[in-house]
Amino acid sequence: MRYFHYKLFKLLLIVPTNVTPAFNAMLILITIQLSNLFSFFNIFKSYSGIDLYHIHYVAIYLFLFLINYLYIYRYRKETQRKYQNESKIRRHIGSLAFGVYVIASIVVFVKTK
């Protein structure tokens, strides 16, 4: 996930009006993770019949925010230094993996909605 945060961060640096690209990258990553969880809960609900209340979704979002802050956002400088000098092949493979992750997340979310 740290690498995906780094890829989002680099992508958001292109936007000239974006003053907090690292924080925005974390929010986008949390949104993708939350859509994955919603997909899982929809599949779980269809098999078990148990539905979660809306307050549970809020609690899950806050939990994801805390986890991402503690393990990704807080160490963003170290992550940037680690991946700053990656090779061209690794950068392309990482971009492809990130793209597949995002597209697969969207497709699964739309199909399970």
For residue range 5-26, what is the model confidence (pLDDT) as tens digits? 999 999 998 888 888 898 899 8
Q: What percent of the chain has pLDDT over 70?
A: 100
Structure tokens, 48: 């078990």
Structure tokens, 66: 């805390």
pLDDT at site 88: 92
Give every CB contact of residue 63 below 8 A, 6+ residues apart in sequence: none
Would you say residue 89 has pLDDT above 90? Answer: yes
- Return the SS3 of 60: helix
For residue range 21-67, what is the model confidence (pLDDT) as tens digits? 988 998 899 889 888 988 888 888 888 877 777 777 788 888 888 98
Provide the residue range defining the domain that includes 70.
2-112
Burial class, 112, CB count within 10 angstroms (exposed 0-12 / middle 13-18 / buried 19+): middle
pLDDT at site 98: 92
Going by C-alpha positions, the residue among 4, 49, 38, 43 that lies closest to residue 22 is: 4
Give the total number of structural domains in the chain.
1
